[in-house]
Amino acid sequence: MKNGQSDNSAAVKKEPKELAGESVVSGWGHGKAYFIGRTIQQQDATIEAAISREEVGSEIIRFNEIRDNARKDYQKLIQDLDRESTVDASILNIYENILDDPAFIGQVVETISVKLFNLETSIRTVSNDFIKRFESSGTSYFKERSSDMVEVCEKLVSYLSSESGRAKTFAEPVVLVVLRTFTPTDILSYDRSKIRAVITMSGGKTSHAAILARSYNIPVISGVRNISDHIKPGDEVLVDSDKGNVFVHPEAYVVERYLKQTHGETIYKELKAKWSRPVYTRDGVRIEVLANLSLTEDANEAVENGADGIGLVRTEYLLSNRKEMPTEEAHLAYYEAILSKGAGKHCTIRLMDIGGDKIPQFFDMPQEFNPFMGWRAIRIFLERKDIFETQVAAILKAGKGYDYSIMVPMVTTLQEWIEAKAFIREIASKLEMPMPKCGVLFEVPLAILEMGTFMKEIDFASIGTNDLIQYLSAADRNNSKVNYLYNPVEPAFLRIIRNSIKVANDNGKPLSICGEMAGHPLHTVLLVGLGLRRFSVMPRSIPLIKEIISNISFAEAAESISHIDVIESMDDMLAWLKNLNARLLGDLMKRIPYIETGI
């Protein structure tokens, strides 16, 4: 049986199976299983293919030839992606850098020359060594960079096979099953119009492959164990990446649920067309719904989804796959691209949140037992003002003629903020440019509990609920052992949010919420009732949030949550919130797509 083709010899009904994994790119997909790839780590269990001393020279020549072939392939892919104008093709540049990396080249040549391994074995051995070092680094950034090494290794090895030409088209929709780390060319080498989903052994949410899949709206599930024991080529597979489920030979009710979700996509498109305009509550209160973004192409998606502005630009993307800190020119090009695509609407640019799980490979970070509470963001900037100045200068220059502001993350004390703002003013004065509006991202408990002391010194505020909940509950939301404690409807947390919104409103300072809480439709009525007038969410959430807001009375929502203090448990709060939504919105929540996951 060939790869991707079903075996029709058995007429018996196949038993349905349900597998679990981790959602990397959300969505649903339904098709026939098509297998690609094998893990580099399998090389450990094989016997290295030896060559004679006389074959060393020809293997090295062939290595240089296939590197050249791979480089040309990547350059063509970059050109093709540039023409599509939907994906930032620069994410493929890292592969050219690896192909030309002296360390990689030298180790492959040495393995061929000294160990007398053939070319494929040498490439896999060296690649595996790099991957082990990346994965033992202890940071998610380096672990996800191991997928870049897998990509280059598999690309090079494909030229050595007699079947190096991958199938480009499919006769019917497929679910790609990747028996190794998921890489970009797993999508780019095939007919993307027929790829409905991807199931992979490993691959993170910020990997290059995930970024590409997200751009093409292809759902991805990672971490499915023993894939080939449960799925065979040609099997019918349905992927629900919103919940991290894979259904093999799905039962009728599962397929029906998928078709309903497909109908939800039609509703989403209708809402997207409807909400290109501003939104008001039923009693005439304007609520802004802004976009969070990282990539330059996200700005296009934000405009297409009706964003009233850009509430958060996560500039850490600039650090990805660089061998040194980005230059002012690199910063400038990035901000200019985003601002120019923003349709003239306001844009809030967050300074780089270096540290935690976002540690650049070139940055000399101290060894820390708890990096999320260590040297991070503003704490680095105030010590390394050279980094601070490069980024701020580029933002000021790019912002000329645009409506923009600067937001500083991880501020803990008022003194930190005053020092940071003074330095921004100093840079603006040096460049003879006006001082931009500057605000604080409140995500540290000490700062948000003392928000009132910041009011005279800031132009606006934002609440980063993701980190704030983690710090308040001492619970990592990515840790399955404790993430039950990570819940935005915890009564004590909601009281902090309500007080923060009140402090900002009383002082006439705009406040937004930019964490995942703001993007979940279940929380929209609650947040409006608490007085929030500025949401900042993923672009795809914008039409859904606007539709809910248009059906809310601001005064009624405020009155409805006035007795929130009497609710003591999280379960009671969740039950009350669902009843509140049903009372104020009727059956609207049932008609809003993706309501179970909040996207």
End-to-end CA distance of the chain: 38
Please give the Cα distance from 384 to 456 (Å, whole number). 26
CB 557 within 8 A of CB 529: yes
Distance CA(335)–CA(398), nearest Å, equals 6
φ and ψ at residue 382, rounded to 5 degrees: -70, -20
438 is catalytic: no
DSSP category for residue 42: G
Q: How far is CA 338 from CA 141, 393, 434, 578, in A?
A: 24, 16, 20, 37
Q: Encoding tokens for residue 81?
A: 């992606």
Residue 293: its H or E element:
strand 286-293
Structural contact between residues 510 and 460, judged by C-beta atoms closer than 8 angstroms: yes
Cβ contact 541:317 at 8 Å: no
Distance CA 192, CA 174 (A): 10
Among residues 208, 331, 520, 523, which one is catalytic? 208
Q: Phi-psi bin for 482: left (phi > 0), alpha (psi -120 to 50), beta?
A: alpha
Describe the crossing of helices 119-135 and 56-84 by its angle, rounded to 10 degrees: 60
The residues pairing with 288 across neighbouring beta strands, listed in sequence order, are 534
> Active-site residue 30, yes or no?
no
Asked whether the CA dihedral 315, 316, 319, 325 is positive or negative, the reply is positive
Query: Across the chain, how many H-helices and E-strands are there?
Result: 24, 17
Task: List residues bridging with 289 in a β-sheet.
Answer: 535
Report the DSSP pairing between strands 174-181 and 195-202: parallel
Q: Which of 347, 514, 520, 523 is catalytic?
A: 514
Q: Which two tokens stand for residue 263?
A: 């109908």
Looking at residue 491, what DSSP letter applies?
Answer: H
At 307, give phi and psi (nearest 5°).
Answer: -60, 140
Q: How far is CA 564 from the centre of its chain?
A: 33
- Please give the single-letter amino acid code of residue 116: L
Token code pair at residue 270: 């209708």
Inter-residue contact 170 to 191 (CB < 8 Å): yes
What span, in angstroms and rounded, lies between the C-alpha atoms of 526 and 530?
A: 6
CA 124/CA 126 separation, integer angstroms: 6
Token pair listed for 461: 């505020």
Distances (CA, A) of 69 to 76, 99, 125, 271: 11, 10, 21, 46
* Active site (catalytic) residues: 208, 514
